[in-house]
Amino acid sequence: DAGVIQSPRHEVTEMGQEVTLRCKPISGHDYLFWYRQTMMRGLELLIYFNNNVPIDDSGMPEDRFSAKMPNASFSTLKIQPSEPRDSAVYFCASSPRQGVGYTFGSGTRLTVV
Protein backbone atom coordinates (compact mmCIF):
# COMPACT_ATOMS: atom_id res chain seq x y z
CA ASP A 1 0.00 0.00 0.00
CA ALA A 2 1.49 3.33 -1.05
CA GLY A 3 -0.24 5.22 1.72
CA VAL A 4 -1.84 8.62 1.30
CA ILE A 5 -0.24 10.39 -1.64
CA GLN A 6 -0.08 14.15 -1.84
CA SER A 7 1.19 16.37 -4.61
CA PRO A 8 3.07 18.52 -5.03
CA ARG A 9 5.49 18.18 -2.11
CA HIS A 10 6.46 21.81 -2.36
CA GLU A 11 4.72 24.72 -4.00
CA VAL A 12 5.93 28.28 -4.27
CA THR A 13 3.56 30.76 -5.80
CA GLU A 14 2.98 34.46 -6.00
CA MET A 15 0.25 36.22 -4.13
CA GLY A 16 -2.97 36.26 -6.10
CA GLN A 17 -2.31 33.05 -7.97
CA GLU A 18 -4.50 29.98 -7.79
CA VAL A 19 -3.06 26.98 -5.99
CA THR A 20 -4.35 23.41 -6.20
CA LEU A 21 -3.22 20.72 -3.82
CA ARG A 22 -3.97 17.09 -4.57
CA CYS A 23 -4.54 14.00 -2.49
CA LYS A 24 -5.03 10.32 -3.20
CA PRO A 25 -6.34 8.50 -0.12
CA ILE A 26 -5.74 4.88 0.70
CA SER A 27 -8.04 2.64 -1.28
CA GLY A 28 -11.06 1.61 0.73
CA HIS A 29 -10.82 4.48 3.19
CA ASP A 30 -14.18 6.17 3.53
CA TYR A 31 -12.97 9.29 5.35
CA LEU A 32 -10.70 11.99 4.00
CA PHE A 33 -9.40 14.97 5.95
CA TRP A 34 -7.56 18.14 5.00
CA TYR A 35 -5.39 19.75 7.69
CA ARG A 36 -3.17 22.80 7.74
CA GLN A 37 -0.14 23.14 10.03
CA THR A 38 1.69 26.31 10.98
CA MET A 39 4.01 27.14 13.83
CA MET A 40 1.55 29.64 15.26
CA ARG A 41 -1.67 27.66 15.03
CA GLY A 42 -0.50 24.06 15.01
CA LEU A 43 -2.50 21.43 13.18
CA GLU A 44 -5.96 22.64 12.15
CA LEU A 45 -8.72 20.63 10.52
CA LEU A 46 -10.01 22.41 7.43
CA ILE A 47 -12.60 20.01 6.06
CA TYR A 48 -13.45 16.33 6.01
CA PHE A 49 -15.35 14.05 3.65
CA ASN A 50 -17.21 10.81 4.18
CA ASN A 51 -17.83 8.69 1.10
CA ASN A 52 -16.86 11.65 -1.09
CA VAL A 53 -19.38 13.97 0.54
CA PRO A 54 -18.15 17.04 2.46
CA ILE A 55 -19.39 16.67 6.02
CA ASP A 56 -17.87 19.60 7.86
CA ASP A 57 -16.05 22.55 6.32
CA SER A 58 -16.25 24.85 9.31
CA GLY A 59 -12.47 24.94 9.49
CA MET A 60 -12.05 26.40 6.04
CA PRO A 61 -10.62 29.88 6.64
CA GLU A 62 -12.65 31.78 4.09
CA ASP A 63 -14.24 31.65 0.68
CA ARG A 64 -10.87 31.63 -0.98
CA PHE A 65 -10.54 27.99 0.06
CA SER A 66 -12.50 25.21 -1.58
CA ALA A 67 -12.20 21.43 -1.53
CA LYS A 68 -13.66 18.74 -3.72
CA MET A 69 -13.71 14.98 -3.80
CA PRO A 70 -15.02 13.92 -7.21
CA ASN A 71 -14.41 10.24 -6.51
CA ALA A 72 -13.15 7.90 -3.84
CA SER A 73 -9.56 8.09 -4.99
CA PHE A 74 -8.98 11.80 -5.43
CA SER A 75 -9.45 15.08 -3.62
CA THR A 76 -8.29 18.63 -4.22
CA LEU A 77 -7.88 21.68 -2.03
CA LYS A 78 -7.88 24.92 -3.96
CA ILE A 79 -6.90 28.39 -2.82
CA GLN A 80 -7.90 31.25 -5.07
CA PRO A 81 -6.52 33.85 -4.78
CA SER A 82 -3.62 32.84 -2.57
CA GLU A 83 -2.16 35.16 0.08
CA PRO A 84 1.11 35.08 2.03
CA ARG A 85 -0.76 34.11 5.21
CA ASP A 86 -1.80 30.87 3.49
CA SER A 87 1.81 29.69 3.68
CA ALA A 88 1.76 26.44 5.65
CA VAL A 89 2.09 22.70 5.35
CA TYR A 90 -1.14 21.14 4.15
CA PHE A 91 -1.80 17.54 5.07
CA CYS A 92 -4.32 15.11 3.73
CA ALA A 93 -5.32 12.11 5.83
CA SER A 94 -7.66 9.19 5.39
CA SER A 95 -9.21 6.51 7.57
CA PRO A 96 -11.23 3.39 6.80
CA ARG A 97 -14.06 4.34 9.14
CA GLN A 98 -14.92 6.70 11.94
CA GLY A 99 -13.12 6.29 15.21
CA VAL A 100 -9.91 4.67 14.05
CA GLY A 101 -6.48 6.12 13.49
CA TYR A 102 -5.82 8.32 10.51
CA THR A 103 -3.09 7.80 7.94
CA PHE A 104 -1.53 11.09 6.95
CA GLY A 105 0.24 11.96 3.74
CA SER A 106 3.65 13.60 3.65
CA GLY A 107 2.12 17.02 3.16
CA THR A 108 2.48 19.89 0.73
CA ARG A 109 4.60 22.79 1.88
CA LEU A 110 3.03 25.91 0.39
CA THR A 111 4.87 29.20 0.26
CA VAL A 112 3.06 32.25 -1.05
CA VAL A 113 5.34 35.20 -1.79
Partner 1 sequence: LAKTTQPISMDSYEGQEVNITCSHNNIATNDYITWYQQFPSQGPRFIIQGYKTKVTNEVASLFIPADRKSSTLSLPRVSLSDTAVYYCLVGDPFSGGYNKLIFGAGTRLAVHP
Binding site for partner 1 (CB under 8 A): 4, 31, 33, 42-43, 45, 48, 55-56, 59, 91, 93, 98-107
Q: C-alpha angle 99/34/104, rounded to 5°?
A: 65
Contact 87, 80 (CB under 8 A): no
Identify the three-state secondary structure at position 26. coil
Q: Is the Cβ of residue 31 or residue 65 nearer to partner 1 in the bound state? A: 31
Closest approach of partner 1 to the CB of residue 19, in Å: 19
Closest approach of partner 1 to the CB of residue 11, in Å: 15
Closest approach of partner 1 to the CB of residue 81, in Å: 26
Q: Is the Cβ of residue 7 or residue 81 nearer to partner 1 in the bound state? A: 7
Q: Is the Cβ of residue 72 or residue 89 nearer to partner 1 in the bound state? A: 89
Q: Give the C-alpha distances (Å, rounded to integers) separating 9 from 5, 91, 99, 105, 107.
A: 10, 10, 28, 10, 6
Largest CA distance in the chain: 39
